[in-house]
Each structure stands twice: as C-alpha cells, then as structure tokens.
Amino acid sequence: MGRWLDGRGELVVHGERDGFAVPLEIATSYRARTKGLLGRDGVEGALLLSPAGSVHTFRMRFPIDVAYLDRRLRVIAVRTMKPGRLGLPRVRSRHVLEAEAGVMEGWGVRVGVRVEILVE
C-alpha cells in the first residue's frame, strides 16, 4: 500500500455501494503532486496525491472535494474547498484524494470508509 508510480488506475470505494469504482489519476512524484489539478477545468474521476497530508487550492479554477486517507487507506476527513484556500494539515493523513466538488458524497466516500487503489 502506498508504493505507486505516477499513472492511472481505479479507486474502489468499500461502503454502501461496495466495490464502486471510479477512474483515478495517481500522482506520486514531486512534480506530479505539485501540479495536481492546477490549470485544469475539471477532472474525470479522482486524483490521488501520495504522500500528502494537506492541500491548497490556490490558482485552481473549480472547487474540489478533498478526502484525507490514513496509511490503511481509510478516510479520516472529507472537505469541500473553494479555489484560493489552504487546507489544514491532517496529522494521520498519508494520502489525499481530490475530485470535483460534490461527487465524493455520491461515491460513498465519507469518514470511516476504506478505499482501494487498483493500478492499471
């Protein structure tokens, strides 16, 4: 867990809709994590930043949902952030998921839910 390379995969949410999967971009290099969603008008599915304990939305064009994951890929917090904000660091956060605002609730991503990362 947590030894991924930049690329694509699937995010599987284990919860109410057990096994629900969404397209995932994986950003693990410094360069990919730094760029994140900057300069984009949206994202298909979600973006995983790893390792990461906090995020910001400076210079972003759209609001995002942010889910903080612990080392076992369990959701420890979910927040919606407008552009131009600085998120507080989460002590136990090892990874961060980002997606367009409002979609994580529909996916069943909430505190306590475990997710799985499948690499293509």
**58-78 mean pLDDT:** 96
The two structure tokens encoding residue 30:
């410094």
Cα–Cα distance for residue pair 75/68, rounded to 1 Å:
6
Q: Centre a 10 Å sphere on the Cβ of residue 99 and count the other Cβ atoms it contains.
A: 23
What is the pLDDT at residue 39? 87
Starting at the edge strand found earlier in the chain, the sheet holding 64-69 runs 75-81, 64-69, 95-100, 46-49, 20-27, 7-14, 114-119
Kindly report, residue by residue over 26-48, the tens digit of the pLDDT: 999 999 999 999 889 999 999 99
Alpha carbons within 13 angstroms on the beta-carbon side of residue 77 total 18
The overall pTM is greater than 0.95? no
Quick check: 17 pLDDT over 90?
no
What is the pLDDT at residue 1? 52
